[in-house]
């Protein structure tokens, strides 16, 4: 007999998070076990060069509900998240980062909100990142609102819940930090309902952030421009027009 699909998938992209993984997995299993009867945890190791792969391998051998996907080389945050979301089998899919800046216990609130919408996007209240990252995020959010009309308070907050129908309907092209914006913009363009919920945010204790590096920002800007051209193309606008008669 075919094993029933999980009620919930938890997806975590990982790159050099050895110092955070044990606590992350402990929290993920504890929270998911309390909230649903059937779940899976999907971790994508995006070419880590520390001990992350060995730790994940040992843990997955002991826990069948942990699925580990491996990129032999680092491909970028967006590519890792895309791999995890495509592999997730749950009717509800949550993703978060592996850096322990979010309290996974607050997933219960996001799941409750998901009963009335297609996507629940968390927003950090307050955000605990250094001020340059907060300033960059403000400017990015303003640009996305002006270009796409997306009124989401914290676009890049890595704590979101999706119904499976959303992920099945949208393509994901981004390889980098633009992936959060791309998913939300595409979902909005297809008429999916997006709700927002406050989530706690903590300073990172182990590892280093990479989202504010110039190369990461440049890639995000280029991917934003590509998506803008795609969604504003005459072919797409024509496809939206009702057929005559």
Domain segments of the chain: what residues?
8-233
CA distance 174 to 127: 24
Q: Which superfamily does 8-233 belong to?
A: Spore Coat Polysaccharide Biosynthesis Protein SpsA; Chain A (3.90.550.10)
What pLDDT is stored for residue 236 in this prediction? 56
pLDDT(211) > 60: no
CA distance 107 to 122: 10
Question: Which of helix, strand or coil describes residue 243?
Answer: coil
Return the structure tokens found at 227: 């998506």
**Cβ pair 76, 46 in contact under 8 A:** yes
- DSSP conformational letter for 4: P
Q: Which of 37-51, 103-117, 119-133 has the lowest mean pLDDT?
A: 119-133
- Evaluated on CA atoms 34, 35, 39, 43, the torsion sign reads negative
The pLDDT confidence band at residue 240, using thresholds 50, 70 and 90, is very low
What pLDDT is stored for residue 241 in this prediction? 44
What pLDDT is stored for residue 212 in this prediction? 59
Average pLDDT, whole number, for the chain? 91
- DSSP conformational letter for 115: G
What pLDDT is stored for residue 239 in this prediction? 46
What pLDDT is stored for residue 207 in this prediction? 57
pLDDT(243) > 60: no
Considering the entire predicted model, what is its pTM?
0.89
């Amino acid at each position: 007999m075919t094993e029933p699909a999980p009620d919930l998938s938890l997806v975590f992209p990982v790159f050099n998070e050895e110092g955070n993984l044990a606590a992350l997995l402990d929290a993920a299993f504890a929270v998911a076990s309390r909230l649903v009867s059937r779940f899976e945890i999907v971790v994508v190791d995006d070419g880590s060069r520390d001990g992350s792969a060995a730790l994940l391998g040992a843990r997955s051998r002991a826990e069948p509900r942990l699925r580990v996907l491996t990129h032999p080389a680092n491909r970028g945050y967006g590519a890792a998240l895309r791999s995890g979301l495509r592999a997730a089998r749950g009717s509800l899919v949550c993703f978060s980062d592996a850096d322990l800046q979010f309290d996974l216990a607050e997933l219960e609130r996001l799941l409750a909100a998901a009963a009335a919408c297609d996507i629940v996007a968390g927003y950090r209240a307050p955000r605990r990142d250094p001020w340059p990252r907060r300033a960059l995020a403000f400017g990015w959010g303003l640009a996305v609102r002006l270009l796409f009309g997306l009124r989401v308070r914290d676009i890049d907050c890595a704590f979101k819940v999706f119904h499976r129908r959303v992920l099945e309907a949208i393509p994901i092209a981004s390889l980098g930090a633009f992936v959060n914006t791309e998913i939300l913009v595409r979902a909005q363009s297809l008429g999916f309902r997006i709700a927002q919920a406050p989530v706690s945010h903590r300073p990172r204790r182990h590892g280093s952030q990479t989202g504010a590096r110039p190369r990461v920002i440049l890639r995000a800007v280029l991917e934003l421009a590509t998506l803008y051209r795609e969604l504003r193309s005459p072919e797409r606008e024509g496809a939206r027009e009702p057929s005559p008669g």
